[in-house]
Amino acid sequence: MALRILLVGQAAFGERTLERLARNHSVVAVYCPPDAPGAQADPLKSKALERGIPVHQPKSMKTDEVFERFGACGADLAVLAFVTVIVPERVIRLPRLGTICFHPSLLPRYRGGSALNWQIIRGETRGGLTVFWTDAGIDTGPILLQKPVVIGPDDTTGSLYYEKIFPLGLDTLEEAVELVAAGRAPRIPQDESLASYDPLCRNEHVAIDWLRPAREVYDLVRGADPQPGAWAVHRGEKIRFFDCRLSAGASADPGRVVGLGAGGLEVALAGGRLVAKRVRIGDSPKKTPAAELAAAACLAVGDRLAGGPSA
């Protein structure tokens, strides 16, 4: 049975979800964030307009106007694909069959908006994704489908998402919608005894403590790449680390720069070395190759980088 679907989402994942769902169903409206000043239109918005699908971009999903428009669509199902705003309970209950949502963890573990970051920061080797039925809580509704993925020892939040979660998530959302259309979609309650929730991963969570074991530091750096970027301080400015690897090597004073050149910026750890191909300095948006740091004399072998609480 073809469904009338309301799609709420953004970015490339939202765009690709629209393409998938429009194969067999009617996407009657799209909701995505407001355009940022001077920025290109969101890919989901552009794709929807290209297809003649109405697009709504409210600043908040909690208004009476959103409630009335959502209800007026006469949708069978709402699909939340990469949503970073709260959609209130009264809105998600409007579609005839309810609302389903994509989440990049194996719920009930790692609820919250930075699930991928925290899984890597904590050294998890097994992750996955969930499509669940939304309710009044945050990532708490009954499970419809789950798929596992392997988190590699060098995966970053970026590689885990784009190379594993993104393609599998598209397949799983499409499969979930087909189960709903066929009347065979399960509603499996989450086991609250296994539940965990983490805050958004922000600057205050990713200051590097050089005295932590090498693997823990590396996991923090991987989990903060590409955002917000794990950081240390040198000459009063934050240095954020990207495209890193953990290397063996004789331990020097943790936090001490022990190599700098074409091979990367090497910083001593407690039990190894952190090798960064690129860094961001201060407020600059540019990720600078390590070789350029050496040429510009921004850093030198022997410098010590200040870090987190006990560093």
**List of residues 6+ apart from 101 with CB closer than 8 A:** 79, 80, 83, 131, 132, 133, 134, 139, 141
Question: For the chain, where do the domains classified as CATH 3.40.50.170 start and end?
Answer: 4-194
Does position 18 have pLDDT exceeding 80, yes or no? yes
What pLDDT score was predicted for residue 135?
Answer: 96
Mean pLDDT of the chain: 95
Q: What is the arithmetic mean of pLDDT over 301-311? A: 77
Does position 309 have pLDDT exceeding 60, yes or no? no
**List of residues 6+ apart from 121 with CB closer than 8 A:** 201, 205, 206, 219, 220, 222, 223, 224
**List of residues 6+ apart from 49 with CB closer than 8 A:** 55
Q: What is the pTM of this model?
A: 0.94
Phi, psi (rounded to 5 degrees) for 183: 75, 25
Name the CATH code of domain 203-296 (choices 3.90.700.10, 3.40.718.10, 3.10.25.10, 2.60.120.200): 3.10.25.10
82, 13 Cβ separation under 8 angstroms: yes
Digit-coded pLDDT (tens) for 125-148: 999 999 999 999 999 999 999 999
Digit-coded pLDDT (tens) for 50-74: 999 999 999 999 999 999 999 999 9
Q: Is 227 in a helix, a strand, or coil?
A: coil
Q: What is the arithmetic mean of pLDDT over 75-97? A: 95
Question: For the chain, where do the domains classified as CATH 3.10.25.10 start and end?
Answer: 203-296
- Band of residue 311 on the pLDDT scale cut at 50, 70, 90: very low
What pLDDT score was predicted for residue 297?
Answer: 67
Give the homologous superfamily in CATH for domain 4-194.
Formyl transferase, N-terminal domain (3.40.50.170)
Digit-coded pLDDT (tens) for 147-171: 999 999 999 999 999 999 999 999 9
Strand (E) or helix (H) holding 247: strand 237-247
